[in-house]
Chain A
Amino acid sequence: MGKYIVKRIAMGILSVFIVATLTFFLMNLVPGGPFVAEKSISKAAQEALEAKFGLDKPLLQRYTTYMTDFLHGDMGFSLRQRGRTVSDIIFSKFPVSARLAGIAVVVALCVGIPLGCISAYNRGKLADNFIIVLGTCGIAIPSFISSVLLLYTFGSWLKILPTMGLNDAVSYIMPVTALAIYPTAYITRLMRSSLLDVMGQDYIRTAKAKGLSSFMILFKHALRNALLPVIAYVGPMLASLMTGSFVVEKIFTIPGLGREFVSSITNRDYTMIMGTTIILAALVIAANVIVDILYKIIDPRIKLK
Chain B
Amino acid sequence: MSEKLLEIVDERLSFFTPAGEVKALNGVSFSMEEGEVLGIVGESGSGKSVTAYSIMGLTAYPGRLIGGTIRFNGHQVDQMSEKEFRKMRGNEVSIIFQDPMTSLNPVYTIGNQIEEVIRLHTDKSKTEARARAKELLELVGINEPEKRLRQYPHELSGGMRQRVMIAIALACEPKLLIADEPTTALDVTIQAQILELMQELRQKMGMSIIMITHDLGVVASMCERIAVMYAGHIVEYGTTDEIFYHPSHEYTKGLIGSIPKLTTEESERLVPIEGQPVDLLNPPAGCPFAPRCRSCMKICLKKMPPKTRLSDTHYSYCWLRQKEAAEGGHEA
Using CB atoms and an 8 Å cutoff, list the residues of chain A in contact with chain B: 201-203, 205-213, 220-221, 224-225, 298-301
Evaluate contact between B116 and A300: CB separation under 8 angstroms. no
User: B56 on the interface (CB 8 Å rule)?
Assistant: yes
CA distance A208 to B168 in the complex (A): 13
- Given A202-B97, A300-B152, A301-B154, A212 and B116 contact (CB-CB distance below 8 Å): yes
Among the listed A201, A210, A220, A299, which residue makes an inter-chain contact with B102, where contact means beta carbons less than 8 Å apart? A201
Per-residue CB contact flags for chain B residues 93-127 toward chain A (1 = under 8 Å, else 0) read 01101010011111110000000110011000000
CA distance A225 to B153 in the complex (A): 14
User: B238 on the interface (CB 8 Å rule)?
Assistant: no
CA distance A208 to B82 in the complex (A): 11
Evaluate contact between B94 and A300: CB separation under 8 angstroms. no
Evaluate contact between A300 and B103: CB separation under 8 angstroms. no
Closest CB in chain B relative to A84 CB, distance in Å: 49
Task: Name the B residues within 8 Å of A208 (CB-CB).
Answer: 58, 89
- Count A-B pairs with CB separation below 8 Å: 67
Closest CB in chain B relative to A281 CB, distance in Å: 32
User: B75 on the interface (CB 8 Å rule)?
Assistant: no
Task: Name the A residues within 8 Å of B104 (CB-CB).
Answer: 203, 206
Evaluate contact between A211 and B91: CB separation under 8 angstroms. yes
- Given A224-B107, A225-B107, A301-B152, A209 and B120 contact (CB-CB distance below 8 Å): no
Nearest B-chain residue to A212, judged by Cβ: B120
User: B228 on the interface (CB 8 Å rule)?
Assistant: no
CA distance A298 to B108 in the complex (A): 9
CA distance A205 to B58 in the complex (A): 8
Evaluate contact between B89 and A210: CB separation under 8 angstroms. yes
User: B303 on the interface (CB 8 Å rule)?
Assistant: no
- Given A202-B97, A300-B152, A300-B154, A210 and B90 contact (CB-CB distance below 8 Å): yes
CA distance A236 to B121 in the complex (A): 43
Task: Name the B residues within 8 Å of A220 (CB-CB).
Answer: 116
Could you list 6 A-B pairs, sorted by A, with CB under 8 Å? A202-B103, A205-B97, A209-B90, A210-B120, A212-B120, A225-B107
User: B330 on the interface (CB 8 Å rule)?
Assistant: no
- Given A202-B97, A300-B152, A210 and B106 contact (CB-CB distance below 8 Å): no
- Given A211-B89, A212-B116, A206 and B105 contact (CB-CB distance below 8 Å): yes
- The contact size tier of chain B is 20 to 34
User: B302 on the interface (CB 8 Å rule)?
Assistant: no
Evaluate contact between A205 and B103: CB separation under 8 angstroms. yes
Among the listed B86, B108, B117, which residue makes an inter-chain contact with A213, where contact means beta carbons less than 8 Å apart? B86
Nearest A-chain residue to B83, judged by Cβ: A213
Closest CB in chain B relative to A35 CB, distance in Å: 58
Task: Name the A residues within 8 Å of B89 (CB-CB).
Answer: 208-211
CA distance A135 to B165 in the complex (A): 40
- Given A210-B120, A210-B168, A212-B116, A299 and B105 contact (CB-CB distance below 8 Å): no
CA distance A203 to B104 in the complex (A): 5
User: B88 on the interface (CB 8 Å rule)?
Assistant: yes
Evaluate contact between B106 and A301: CB separation under 8 angstroms. yes
Task: Name the B residues within 8 Å of A221 (CB-CB).
Answer: 105, 108
Nearest B-chain residue to A207, judged by Cβ: B105
CA distance A254 to B97 in the complex (A): 58
Nearest B-chain residue to A201, judged by Cβ: B102
Closest CB in chain A relative to B40 CB, distance in Å: 17
Evaluate contact between B56 and A209: CB separation under 8 angstroms. yes
CA distance A241 to B28 in the complex (A): 60
CA distance A201 to B99 in the complex (A): 11
- Given A209-B95, A211-B121, A203 and B86 contact (CB-CB distance below 8 Å): no
Evaluate contact between A211 and B103: CB separation under 8 angstroms. no
User: B87 on the interface (CB 8 Å rule)?
Assistant: yes
Nearest B-chain residue to A213, judged by Cβ: B86
Evaluate contact between B106 and A203: CB separation under 8 angstroms. yes
Nearest A-chain residue to B99, judged by Cβ: A202
Closest CB in chain A relative to B168 CB, distance in Å: 7
Nearest A-chain residue to B120, judged by Cβ: A211
Closest CB in chain A relative to B171 CB, distance in Å: 9
Evaluate contact between B87 and A211: CB separation under 8 angstroms. yes
Task: Name the A residues within 8 Å of B106 (CB-CB).
Answer: 203, 225, 299-301
Per-residue CB contact flags for chain B residues 166-181 toward chain A (1 = under 8 Å, else 0) read 0010000000000000
